[in-house]
Amino acid sequence: MNPDQFKGVIGRYYDESAPWWPQPVRAPESAPNVIVVLLDDVGFAQLGCFGSDIDTPTFDGLAANGVRYSNFHTTALCSPTRACVLTGRNHHTVGMGRINDLATGFPGYDCTISDRHGFLSETLGQAGWSSWAVGKWHLTPRDEQHAAASRKRWPVGKGFDRSYFFFGGETHQFAPALWNDSHQVDPPGTYESGYHLTADMTDQAISMLRDHRQADADKPFFLYYAPGACHSPHQAPREWIEKYRGHFDQGWDAWREQTLARQKELGMMPDQVEASPMPDQVLPWAELSDDQRRVYARFQEAFAGMLSHTDHEVGRLLAEVAAFGELDNTIVMILSDNGASSEGGPAGSINDVQKWNLVHTSPEEVLAAIDEIGGPNVHNNYPWGWTVAGNTPFRRWKRETHEGGVADPLIVHWPAGMTARGEVRDQYVHAIDLLPTILDCVGLDAPAHIDSVEQSPIEGVSFRHTFDDASAPSRRTTQYFEMLGCRGLYHDGWKAVVHHLIFFTEPHFTHDKWELYNVIDDPAEMHDLAEQHPDKLQELVERWWIEAAAHNVLPLDNRPFSDFVMDRPTTVADRDQYVYRPGAAMVDESIAANTKARDHQLTAYVDWTPGDEGCLIAQGANFGGYTFFVIHDVLTYVHNLAGWRQYRVQASLADVAAGPHTFQYDYAKGDRAAGIGRLLIDGEIVAQAEIPRTMHLRYSICGHGLTCGRDGVIAVVDDYVAPFTWTGRLDKVVVDLQGEPIVDPFGEAAIAAIAQ
């Protein structure tokens, strides 16, 4: 209790004194719960109630008992949209102009959200709600995602009472890299035992709800439920993928045409809307070979299976809320963070790690892996044709500011607070508007201070007035967009937009050609009116610059690798020697010993007993990495080159006496890509082999880091099953590095971009 706030009486003695207690904070009586379900990379047309033929009965049921928004917009990218949703401010305002992996040294892009921009969880928390975050986070800088980091920008540092999450843009759905509140945990199951992350998330959320209600029957809660679906890898339980076997054999052209027809029937699109043309890089389905059609259809089957499975798990969660009699008075918002993903490229991908480590996967290898698509051993993403289809009828895709990147599904369900059922709303809404709408619904004003920190203004506006009034005017009349150099501005039904090439320094921004659309009549951006209305275009472009200056958008920079060329300081210093001990948490790749394509030694200090086995040290996972282990009295090092090739060095330990020893792997880089790997016991070389190629960018984009005394949550190789914990006595593993690491900022940025 703060003595300055005490309102009792303090005398010399108790009988001369009067105690005083501050009243505990409680939410208003009958205050609603809040659940925000933030889907990942789900395009405008991919939910059933938005025109898709993918089975989403839970989302469709919520829409039938609530309202859908056909004019909802995001930022075109993951971390920025999440920052908007949780703070109610524009993404550049809070410093999240990009994903957190690609920060730059400018206020709009430093990716460190200030305490001045409080989260919805903090606002609700100080007003009497409990708050829980489950699933994808992606709002913490890379070098703060480890056991020694400050928790200030973790969920527990942003007002969430409990959390169960993964840090990055994606993770392995059958073997995720998980954190529970402030510590790392292994997933509670394996692929073989039927484990899947989305089901695990639902179990955790249900457990939190049951714990909560067992302790307090009335206190409302806020649940931020953010599955990794449907970000790649599109992994789902096999039966969910198999239900779509053959479903997409007609191809993306026919699917897109049928989807637009359904959108018009549902009232999601006006009758005059045309589907935007396919990009030149996307071939008509009829021009593909039989093998291409088989593979590309299978990619889409995996995506559909993942989405339907997610819908099922959200349904299971909401059924639990209903069992407590609370669903009608729970505000449920379902949305996606950006348009459908284009990271699969023109032909799709079975392991995104390969392309950025300069490993070429042939069409024959992809075809050979067709039955593995959607399973634990493939990091699959669909090709561009399905991306554009998923954004029907819009142009372009995720990361870009045409409607295909920024127009997304939004469903609001709150039977106790709205009378509308199954209706469509066409008011213009942006991700920053969710927070003020929720506060409006629960009867709270945005706080002037959170934990004594003065708060920045909320930039969103409530759209609650549209819940029961289809003709209500839009309160958002202007909204700017910027993502990696692509720009746009919406104002009173008009939109100016420009596509700028990402990754390239030419042409310069000053050479960009702006387009102009009347998006009320032409939401698919089919008819560029720039030449007919040059004054209107100039008006919007000038307004864009005003908005950009007001919201920290400047300077424009389309180089996504700026984080790597602008010398951003890190909280953990690089060094030439790293010491790892068993029993500790996994170390994120961003701060682990960087052994890639440079001379190094791994030295394990063991007290050897014949028959001991297990992993001494490992980094990465089945999509790429290395492991140093003993099995059947054979010492083995394996370099898994992006899941494409495995290079081994092995030596028998049959003649090694029991007692203290050093087991060492030494790598000497050659003049070209090849190097020599050697195994040493007590300093004596016992085996060596050529390592023709090594990975040079990332071992993993799914969050699998370095572990000592075990091999993470999914094995780097199939010689054993993770975690394959060392059975004997292991003191430590020392990693010594020589020479300078390879610096490839372009490649680093590219691999960060595909994992957003």
What whole-number distance in Å separates Cα of residue 653 and Cα of residue 669?
Answer: 26
Report the candidate in 517, 503, 506 with the shortest Cα–Cα distance to residue 747: 503
Domain boundary among 539, 565, 591: 565
Same domain for 402 and 525?
Answer: no
Q: What is the model's pLDDT at position 741?
A: 67
Asked if the structure places residue 639 within a domain, the reply is yes
Q: Which helix (H) or strand (E) holds 661?
A: strand 659-669
Q: Is residue 742 over pLDDT 70?
A: no
Rounded to 5°, the CA angle 528-531-533 comes to 90
Q: Is residue 749 over pLDDT 70?
A: no
> Where does the pLDDT of residue 453 fall: very low under 50, low under 70, confident under 90, or very high at 90 and above?
very high
Report the candidate in 720, 747, 702 with the shortest Cα–Cα distance to residue 378: 702
Same domain for 228 and 138?
Answer: yes
Domain boundary among 507, 530, 565: 565
- The CATH number linked to 281 is 3.40.720.10
Same domain for 491 and 598?
Answer: no
> What is the rounded average pLDDT of the residues 16-25?
94
What's the pLDDT tens digit per position in 610-645?
999 999 999 999 999 999 999 999 999 999 998 889
Give the other-Cβ count within 10 Å of 284's Cβ.
Answer: 11
What's the pLDDT tens digit per position in 567-593?
677 778 889 999 999 999 999 998 999
> What is the rounded average pLDDT of the residues 704-724?
95
Same domain for 142 and 166?
Answer: yes
**Tokens 């692929």 belong to which residue?**
191
Asked if the structure places residue 108 within a domain, the reply is no
Asked if the structure places residue 77 within a domain, the reply is no
Report the candidate in 432, 491, 403, 410 with the shortest Cα–Cα distance to residue 76: 403
Same domain for 534 and 608?
Answer: no
Query: Max alpha carbon distance in the chain (Å)?
Result: 93
> What is the rounded average pLDDT of the residues 465-493?
97
**Residue 686, domain extent:** 577-737
> Where does the pLDDT of residue 564 fall: very low under 50, low under 70, confident under 90, or very high at 90 and above?
very low
What whole-number distance in Å separates Cα of residue 516 and Cα of residue 101?
Answer: 32
Q: Is residue 721 over pLDDT 90?
A: yes
> What is the rounded average pLDDT of the residues 637-662?
96
Asked if the structure places residue 93 within a domain, the reply is no
Q: Is residue 507 over pLDDT 80?
A: no
Strand partners, 342: none
Give percent above pLDDT 70 in the chain. Answer: 96
Peptide bond preceding 24 in cis form (omega within 30 of 0): no
Same domain for 547 and 583?
Answer: no
Kindly write down the DSSP assignment for every residue of 420-449, as one continuous string: --SEEE-S-EEGGGHHHHHHHHHT-PPPSE
What whole-number distance in Å separates Cα of residue 631 and Cα of residue 424?
Answer: 61
What whole-number distance in Å separates Cα of residue 391 and Cα of residue 84?
Answer: 21
Give the other-Cβ count within 10 Å of 195's Cβ.
Answer: 19
Burial of 676 (0-12, 13-18, 19+ CB in 10 A): middle
> What is the rounded average pLDDT of the residues 286-310?
97
**Amino acid at site 533:** H
Report the candidate in 393, 175, 409, 114 with the shortest Cα–Cα distance to residue 271: 393
Give percent above pLDDT 90 in the chain. Answer: 85
Same domain for 268 and 411?
Answer: yes
Same domain for 556 and 629?
Answer: no
Residue 559 near residue 749 (C-beta atoms within 8 A) = yes
Asked if the structure places residue 360 within a domain, the reply is yes
> Where does the pLDDT of residue 351 fall: very low under 50, low under 70, confident under 90, or very high at 90 and above?
confident
Displacement of CA 47 from its chain's centroid (Å): 19
> What is the rounded average pLDDT of the residues 137-155?
92
Same domain for 190 and 320?
Answer: yes
> What is the rounded average pLDDT of the residues 286-297?
97
What's the pLDDT tens digit per position in 120-129?
999 999 999 9
494: tokens are 């008009």
Q: Is residue 143 over pLDDT 90?
A: no
Peptide bond preceding 507 in cis form (omega within 30 of 0): yes
Q: Which helix (H) or strand (E) holds 203?
A: helix 197-215
For the chain, the first-to-last Cα distance in angstroms comes to 44
Q: Is residue 563 over pLDDT 50?
A: no
Residue 544 near residue 516 (C-beta atoms within 8 A) = no
What's the pLDDT tens digit per position in 419-446?
999 999 999 999 999 999 999 999 999 9
Mean pLDDT over all residues of the chain?
93
Q: What is the model's pLDDT at position 1?
A: 72
283: tokens are 């071939």
Q: How far is CA 1 from CA 4, 17, 22, 129, in A?
A: 9, 16, 8, 21
Please provide residue 413's backbone torsions phi and psi, each rounded to the nearest 5 degrees.
-130, 120
What's the pLDDT tens digit per position in 659-690?
999 999 999 998 776 899 999 999 999 999 99
Same domain for 398 and 275?
Answer: yes
What whole-number distance in Å separates Cα of residue 32 and Cα of residue 326?
Answer: 8
Q: What is the model's pLDDT at position 751?
A: 47
> What is the rounded average pLDDT of the residues 409-415?
98
> What is the rounded average pLDDT of the residues 295-319?
98
3-state helix, strand, coil in the chain (%, to 5): 25, 20, 50
Domain boundary among 565, 589, 616: 565
Please, what sign has the CA dihedral across residues 743, 749, 754, 755?
positive
- Structurally, how many domains does the chain consist of? 3
Same domain for 590 and 702?
Answer: yes
Asked if the structure places residue 363 within a domain, the reply is yes
50: tokens are 């938005």
Same domain for 559 and 606?
Answer: no
Q: Tell me, letter by letter, the H, E, C secondary structure of 234-275.
A: CCCCHHHHHCCCCCCCCHHHHHHHHHHHHHHHHCCCCCCCCC
- The CATH number linked to 641 is 2.60.120.200
Q: What is the model's pLDDT at position 565?
A: 40
Q: Is residue 510 over pLDDT 80?
A: yes
Residue 128 near residue 139 (C-beta atoms within 8 A) = no
What's the pLDDT tens digit per position in 56-100?
999 999 999 999 999 999 999 999 999 999 999 999 999 999 988
Peptide bond preceding 723 in cis form (omega within 30 of 0): yes
Asked if the structure places residue 524 within a domain, the reply is yes
Asked if the structure places residue 725 within a domain, the reply is yes
